[in-house]
Structure 1
């Protein structure tokens, strides 16, 4: 295969890679951080890993939708979801590990991006043949 990967393959690949990282993050939190972080910090880390994994699966679904309906712009909510994962889960991981409280103020930006990605995907599903 030559040339650049199609948008749906990029979404699928990103989702698969992020799902693998989500498993690794969950395992790291469960096996390496217990006893090193407070219960609250572990709960924050667990939330980050859970949303990370769920939205990695969402990226895979968007990739499958893009393969099925290539005329719709599925890559747009995919990019938004990718950014949402990075900001939402990334700031929570950093908050749990560092204790830097102001990171929690950035987290809702990632959450808003995730919500917007799902709404955008729903709109595409309803409006594109």
Structure 2
């Protein structure tokens, strides 16, 4: 996938998190229990953080390998869909069979972060700052 597509996905993910957060705060407040609302908001929180992380990864794309970038980006996208998506559905429906999907999404987040940590450690990149 091209870098501009990843940037678009990151922006869409963040925008969707804002919209879903507002929907939860105003539209679902009277419909869901406090427990269900907390589950939904956890999904929003993780989606927003990982959308922003994906945008940051895009900003670093010229400094890391294409393979590392792809690995981390896909892991976070799968995490957002699996973790946040399953939490949204768990909060809104009675589909409790989705419960096991949530940890898979969480593990995908962890794989992405771990991959980024190891890949960055192994990358020989120096930061250059503009001279004054």
Q: TM-score, normalising length from structure 1?
A: 0.89
Aligned twin of 2:120: 125
- Gapped regions of structure 2 (runs ≥ 5): 125-132
The range that moved more, 71-80 or 43-52, is 71-80
Q: TM-score, normalising length from structure 2?
A: 0.87
Q: CA deviation at 1:74?
A: 0.7
1:74 to 1:29, Cα distance in 2 relative to 1, 3 A: same
Q: CA deviation at 1:10?
A: 2.6
RMSD of aligned Cα (Å): 1.5
Q: CA deviation at 1:71?
A: 5.2
Q: CA deviation at 1:99?
A: 2.7
Q: CA deviation at 1:68?
A: 3.3
**Runs of 4+ deviating beyond 6 Å:** none
1:97 to 1:71, Cα distance in 2 relative to 1, 3 A: closer
- The alignment covers a number of residue pairs equal to 124
Alpha-carbon separation, structure 1, partners of 2:65 and 2:6: 12
Residues 70-113 of structure 1: per-residue CA shift (max 9 Å, x gap): 55531211011101100000000000000322211210000000
